[in-house]
């Protein structure tokens, strides 16, 4: 059994990074591997926004990721500095439910506890 940390950097509303990360997470859990954490960095931090309001016919990957992590008790972290720079959260705008603010240093220290880091850009 391998332990993984997952780093997502690509935007939630375009590109393939969130779809690919979710598929990887599902397969890893099914294969009985452990996921230490999922960390959102750079443009991926937009997924942590409580202000995302998509039309009902579009998949909400930020909610799917949050639900998956909650179901499997995987910490879902986002870089607070990247989020503040992008206006995703602040004192006035809270993060979406299930997303936890963290620092890049906190994520880096957690890497000492895993076998592999998988990155989605």
Average pLDDT on 7-34 reads 96
pLDDT for res 13:
87
- Written as six digits, the tokens of 117 are 């880091």
Query: How high does pLDDT run on average in the chain?
Result: 94
Domains of the chain: 3-120 (3.40.1260.10)
Residue 87: pLDDT band with limits 50, 70, 90? confident
**pTM of the entire structure?**
0.94
C-alpha–C-alpha distance, residues 96 and 33, integer Å: 27
Q: Looking at the predicted structure, is the pLDDT value of residue 92 above 80?
A: no
Average pLDDT on 25-33 reads 98
C-alpha–C-alpha distance, residues 36 and 39, integer Å: 10
C-alpha–C-alpha distance, residues 85 and 92, integer Å: 14
C-alpha–C-alpha distance, residues 83 and 95, integer Å: 9
Average pLDDT on 61-74 reads 97
């Amino acid at each position: 059994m391998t332990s993984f940390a997952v780093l997502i950097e690509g935007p939630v509303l375009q590109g393939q990074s969130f779809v690919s990360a979710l598929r990887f997470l599902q397969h890893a859990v099914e294969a009985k591997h452990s996921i230490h954490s999922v960390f959102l960095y750079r443009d991926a931090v937009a997924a942590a926004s409580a202000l995302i309001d998509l039309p009902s016919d579009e998949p909400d990957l930020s909610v799917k990721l949050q639900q998956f992590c909650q179901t499997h008790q995987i910490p879902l972290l986002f870089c607070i500095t990247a989020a503040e720079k992008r206006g995703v959260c602040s004192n006035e705008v809270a993060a979406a439910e299930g997303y936890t603010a963290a620092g890049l240093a906190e994520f880096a220290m957690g890497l000492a506890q895993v076998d592999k880091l998988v990155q989605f850009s």
